[in-house]
Copies of this chain bind each other. A is one copy, B any other.
Amino acid sequence: MKNRLLILMLAAFLAAPIFSQTNQDKIVEDFESSSVNQQGKEFPKVNSEGRVRVRIEAPEANKVQLDIGGVKYDLEKSEDGVWIGESAPQDEGFHYYQLNIDGASVPDPGSKYYYGAGRWGSGIEIPASDDEFFELKDVPHGSVSENIYYSNITKNWRRNFVYTPPGYFENADKNYPVLYLQHGSYEDETGWSSQGHTNLILDNLIASGDAEPMIIVMDNGYAYKPEDLENAGENRPRSSFEEVLIQEVIPQIDEKFRTIPNRENRAIAGLSMGASQTMSIIMNNLNHFAYYGGFSGTANFPGNEDLDPEEFLNGAFSDAEEVNEKIKVLWLGLGTKEAEVFFKTVGKFRDMLDKQDIEYTYYESPGTAHEWHTWRRSLYQYAQLLFD
């Protein structure tokens, strides 16, 4: 009994997400500069435990903090006006973070900047055991093109990034299937080709023969009509991304790039908000797509109710036979450390699929939360199943 209590207490202690400064004496001193630092910058650094150490000169400051993973860590000031300090161990993979200098939240001048959490800000990479799958290797490399276009639906200029596989430019007579790949909430069209490393993931998969050469289109899921913006008031307006994608983006991509313009050679996927959006889009447009990937999200988010296939998405999953025939791959993924709401909503959706006998693939990314390493791994898994 005593042993059991001790074990429970130990377990509780080990699981506690709150680390105090008092465990600083245990910090492993093997810090190395982050792989996503600005050229020539020594800090921030990461150690083998996944702690982040930052450093900034702020001789006149009263208080400087590192703000990462929802926790603010006090830095310590040395005599020469330099502040330094570190976080508790972070999950493997990519995280957004910032510095807080006397109450001002600002990017760390040592890191590169990424769009996420609704702003351009600092990012850091905690090395993962499987980083090899998006490493820059001596294999043929595709290109990422920035394309700008005017939308007659939203009445403004928009852009997307398009990955074209190795050989696209040289082989003028080969056509390719297309994956439309969407970002999440408070992110934008830059995420997948920047912190997502879409191009390197695909370059490596294509080189090893584990994925078909494909084009990947990364657009912006926020697409507001002027009238919807006006009527939204305090609320976020309804996005017309489905209209923009179906009526404008796909026709433009099929005209500009050497695609195979049919449903069997068109896939769609997204992360979080993008998973929800793209699930609605494919179910409304089965004549356009034959592959779906939902990374950390489903269209029933954040509901916790059982799903009625006759009701959910206007009965799109009611005819199991049609869904099984039309959707060649229905793919769902989650990180094992994601918040409960994601497991609940994805779980309710899976329950419905199971009851309906609709085939799907389910994947869990070990040890990662609602963050980019989960989604890189999801793309890596999902891309291998496309266009077989």
Asked whether A12 is an interface residue with its Cβ less than 8 Å from the other chain, the reply is no
| Complex Cα–Cα for A149 and B255 (A) | 28
Pairwise interchain contact A112-B101, C-beta atoms closer than 8 A: no
Known: A58-B101, A149-B141. A170 touches B255 (CB 8 A): yes
Shortest distance from the beta carbon of A84 to any chain B beta carbon, whole Å: 13
Which of these, B59, B105, B145, contacts A102 with CB under 8 Å? B59
Asked whether A232 is an interface residue with its Cβ less than 8 Å from the other chain, the reply is no
Shortest distance from the beta carbon of A359 to any chain B beta carbon, whole Å: 37
| Complex Cα–Cα for A106 and B169 (A) | 41
Known: A63-B60, A145-B144, A150-B138. A103 touches B119 (CB 8 A): no
Which of these, B40, B61, B104, B157, contacts A136 with CB under 8 Å? B157
| Complex Cα–Cα for A62 and B59 (A) | 11
| Complex Cα–Cα for A103 and B80 (A) | 12
Asked whether A109 is an interface residue with its Cβ less than 8 Å from the other chain, the reply is yes
Known: A61-B61, A170-B256. A148 touches B157 (CB 8 A): no
| Complex Cα–Cα for A229 and B150 (A) | 46
- Determine the chain B residues whose CB is within 8 A of the CB of A118 once the complex forms: 40
| Complex Cα–Cα for A104 and B103 (A) | 13
- Determine the chain B residues whose CB is within 8 A of the CB of A38 once the complex forms: 119-120
- Determine the chain B residues whose CB is within 8 A of the CB of A257 once the complex forms: 169
Question: How does the 8 Å CB contact mask read for A79-119 relative to B, with 1 for contact and 0 for none?
Answer: 00100000000000000000101111111110011000011
Quick one: closest B residue to A58, CB to CB? B104
Question: How does the 8 Å CB contact mask read for A54-86 relative to B, with 1 for contact and 0 for none?
Answer: 001111111110000000000000000100000
Pairwise interchain contact A59-B103, C-beta atoms closer than 8 A: yes
- Determine the chain B residues whose CB is within 8 A of the CB of A147 once the complex forms: 141, 143
7 closest A-B pairs by beta carbon, nearest first, are A58-B104, A61-B102, A60-B102, A59-B103, A145-B145, A106-B106, A143-B145
